[in-house]
Structure 1
Amino acid sequence: MHNFLLVLEFILALALMIVVLMQPSKADGLKGFITGGSETFFSKNKSRTKEALLVKLTVVTAVLFAITTIALNIV
């Protein structure tokens, strides 16, 4: 059981790092200044984009990572 949790913890740690690194930067930089920060189709439908999926994956992976960490401390 302990070895399984260790392997699962390692896999979740790698997955969490990959998902976080795949997320785009939140800083607009000059883009917001030049375009005036206008609303686009993608900003209105943000819940259906790749960024929304990555945010959900990050939350799920982080929760699973926390659960396995607690389980490893109990075992």
Structure 2
Amino acid sequence: MTVEQILIVALIVVGILLIVTVMMQPSKQQDALSALSGGAGDLFAERKSRGFEAVMRRATAILGGLWFIIGFALMYLSAH
């Protein structure tokens, strides 16, 4: 396998993991309903994530960054 093929497989795997982590994050539906009914102040309040939510937010951020890095590496390799 070439480096490009390995990066393509890695991009697909990271993309699937990214989708899974986004889908596993807790719903913020109540916050959205609150914003529509006039309670938008709580929507933008800074709340610290705890436990499972914190892990999922961190995993999503890391996987998203990794996905972009792999994508840029693939663009660089295809141009050179």
Q: Compute the TM-score of the two structures, normalised by the length of structure 2.
A: 0.69
Q: Does residue 74 of structure 2 align to residue 72 of structure 1? A: yes
Higher RCO (Cα < 8 Å, 6 or more apart): 1
The amino acid of 1:61's aligned partner reads L
Identity among equivalent pairs (%): 32
Matched ranges for 1:1-75 at <5 A = 1-28=3-30, 46-75=48-77
Q: Is there any run of 5+ residues in structure 1 with no aligned partner, and where?
A: 33-45
Report the residue type matching 1:25 in the other structure: S
Moved over 4 A (4+): none
Quick one: distance in 1 between partners of 2:74 and 2:29? 37
Superposition CA RMSD, Å: 1.9
Which whole-Å CA distance do the structure 1 matches of 2:49 and 2:28 have between them? Answer: 16
Gaps of 5+ in 2: 35-47
Question: What amino acid maps onto 2:19 in structure 1?
Answer: M
SS at match of 1:72: helix
